[in-house]
Structure 1
Amino acid sequence: MKKTAFVLASLLLPLSSAYAAPEVLMVLTSQSELGDTGKATGFWLSEAAHPYQYLTEQGAQVTLASIKGGQTPIDPGSLENQDDASKAFLASQRQALLNTQSLASISTDGYDAIILVGGHGTMWDFRGNSALSQRVSALWQQGGSVAAVCHGVAGLVDVQIDGSPLLDGKKLTGFSNSEEQAIQLTQVVPYSLEDALVADGADYSQGADFTPYVVVDGRLITGQNPMSSEAMAKALWQQIKDK
């Protein structure tokens, strides 16, 4: 009996030891000021916390990075009325958020997916950032999945793949003009995210304001707003769980 158990364990060992957890790179903004309003901004807490909790619970390894590295700012508005996932994320990742890796110092080799977390700060430092564009492009060409939520979708604008826009003809979503107007920041943000996506060739769609809405187009996964964060993560996991 003992010999049989040993043989079975020996047969199972290579399968378990060969399994490598999916690797996900989560990118946060380094922008702490809301334009010239004198108000603070940053990344939106739940947009990082919900995907982080869901993916790590499934077994993924998630690395936090930011545009500049070091401490990444959290939008103070997102610290109000925190749910359990947000509280847990802050408690477990506090030190990591104070000392994030700079995106420029990270290679996409070995990663299965990248997530661009939103928050209004991204409207200033995601679009046109060469380190971010290069890593999105590299991961895409490596066959990885690209996910973004809310204003984080700004990091996909102007990304080129072999000389053509990544977003050309792609179905996606992102924070809408109607949502921006509803929170009275249309005149504060440097551009309209929805309009920029359409101008880049994207097939943009949206759900009802401030309700979960996710669009999947191949390896591109986008969520419209903070309420879409967990649904985006679930769609992403379906793609990377067997890699």
Structure 2
Amino acid sequence: MAETIRMLIAVFGNAASMSLYAAPMVTFRRIIRKKSTEEFSCIPYIIGLLNCLLYTWYGLPVVSCKWENFPIVTVNGVGIVLELSYVLIYFWFTSSKGKVKVAMTAIPVVLVFCITAAVSAFAFHDNRHRKILVGSIGLVVSVTLYGSPLVAMKKVIQTKSVEFMPITLSVCSFFSSTLWLIYGLLIRDIFVAGPSVLGTPLSILQLVLYCKYRKGSVVEEPSKGDQEKGNLEKVDMEMGKVETNVTNHMNENL
């Protein structure tokens, strides 16, 4: 029974996390359509790629005991594919100067993962120490990613408008962090539950702020023609504002 509950939570956690990984597709549809990266930054996607690489490695039998963390491998494996796709699309459509920036950011990130994987595989000969090494580094990266919505929340409070914080992302973040927190506690793994200790309260705070300030957002009723032509542009701009804010926060951390 306990194993069934854990698997159900893991399945729902996978679904919520995949929704978060898929969210930037709106932004990259815009980049492909305009053939320009505009003012968007590649840093969030490169850091996200590092996070997925570390936790996929953490869940493999090389680090974990057999396949005890298989659900973590599946969701982060999908994350690797999506985040890598975002980085490659960004690299293709950015300027020559932007390509250099992508390379200068991505190469150290790949090196961090390769060194972590090599040390954990060859320097340590038991799963416990391997999990401590990989999990600790993954925890730091995850906390950085979970802390990034603080920028968007600050903007919401300053403007008293939720246009900078789409409700869909907040809801997906809440379910994802909550489910992985429960799963991590059930399997008694601090490196799985740890990031959600910060992520869950932050996602709840996002929902509270949304409920408080959503009436303060001015929403004009568009005509039918405007709806047909402008809805995608509006979503793109909202996603762009959020990701630009997140990028600035990550740049400060880096």
Short-chain TM bin: 0.3 to 0.5
Task: Provide TM-score, normalisation by structure 1.
Answer: 0.34
Task: Provide TM-score, normalisation by structure 2.
Answer: 0.33
Give 1 or 2: higher helix fraction: 2
| Greater length-normalized contact order (CA 8 Å, ≥ 6 residues apart) | 2
